[in-house]
Amino acid sequence: MNKPTDLSATTFTLNGQHAQCQPAPGQRLSEMLREQLGARDVKIGCNAGDCGACTVLVDGDPVCACLMPAQQAAGRAVETPAGLHANDPIAHALGESFQNHGAAQCGICTPGMMASAVALLRANPQPTETQVQDALGGVLCRCTGYRKIIDAVMGAPALTRDAPGHAGDAIRRLDGADKVAGREAFGDDIAPPGTLEILVIRSP
């Protein structure tokens, strides 16, 4: 006798591979990806759709994973920053450009920037600066002031360690590769499920 189908299971494609989860009612896609599937390259910033750090591609379109109910991923193709970096030549080249331009500083916004930029470059390999700004407009960066990120997406020339030597030439950050690949671990990325939390409330 065939086992009855579990109607609560959400089946979809994650970075080209079959994935299936049983998200709780109302669970966010970002939480399902991170906590049930181990995709810690999907960063959690505001959890309100304001910062864009959790941006992933759903059927090729950039989506704030914290705003999308996990059940809506059913039957769709979800790509995370780490999957893009591993599988997509555009993402890999973009990661190299990010490193050349010093565009990944603290790194918390970098996965969202990478996902949004890949979606743009797939549709338009030679975007204008205005198009890059529009594509990245939903992802907030508090470090670079966007100039380095925009230059990296547009592929503008950068001073790197391989360029002719001049005083003050930029060199790649030692931690840049992990940041563009989504491997950089922040505090929330290493906390195991069920970790106790404390909220300090002070008198006004």
Angle subtended at Cα 51 by Cα 18 and Cα 176, rounded to the nearest 5 degrees: 70
Residue 1 resides in a domain: no
Confidence of residue 84 (pLDDT cuts 50, 70, 90): very high
**Per-residue pLDDT, 161:** 40
171 in the same domain as 95: yes
* Dihedral sign, Cα of residue 50, residue 105, residue 102, residue 122: negative
Give the pTM: 0.82
Confidence of residue 1 (pLDDT cuts 50, 70, 90): very low
- Cα separation, 181 vs 111, in Å, equals 8
Say if residues 63 and 42 touch (Cβ distance below 8 Å): no
88 in the same domain as 39: no
Least confident span in 52-61, 86-95, 128-137, 186-195: 186-195
167 in the same domain as 103: yes
- Cα separation, 192 vs 35, in Å, equals 9
Say if residues 86 and 15 touch (Cβ distance below 8 Å): yes
92 in the same domain as 58: no
Residue 2 resides in a domain: no
- Who has greater pLDDT, 142 or 30? 30
**Per-residue pLDDT, 4:** 44
Say if residues 116 and 58 touch (Cβ distance below 8 Å): no
pLDDT of residue 39 exceeding 90, the answer is: yes
Amino acid at site 114: M
Picking from 36, 60, 80, the residue at the C-terminal end of a domain is 80
pLDDT of residue 98 exceeding 70, the answer is: yes
162 in the same domain as 101: yes
Residue 111 belongs to a domain with what CATH number? 1.10.150.120
- Who has greater pLDDT, 157 or 136? 136
Picking from 33, 51, 80, the residue at the C-terminal end of a domain is 80
Task: Indicate the average pLDDT of the chain.
Answer: 87
pLDDT of residue 158 exceeding 70, the answer is: no
- Cα separation, 20 vs 33, in Å, equals 11
Residue 31 belongs to a domain with what CATH number? 3.10.20.30
**Per-residue pLDDT, 176:** 83
116 in the same domain as 65: no
Residue 5 resides in a domain: no
Residue 88 resides in a domain: yes
**Per-residue pLDDT, 76:** 97
**Per-residue pLDDT, 3:** 47
Residue 24 resides in a domain: yes
Residue 191 resides in a domain: no
Mean pLDDT within 121-148: 92
157 in the same domain as 90: yes
Query: pLDDT for 166-202, tens place per residue?
Result: 445 567 877 788 888 888 888 778 877 778 888 889 9
Mean pLDDT within 20-36: 94
What is the tally of structural domains in the chain?
2
137 in the same domain as 100: yes
Q: Provide the residue range defining the domain that includes 149.
A: 84-180
pLDDT of residue 162 exceeding 80, the answer is: no
Mean pLDDT within 126-152: 92
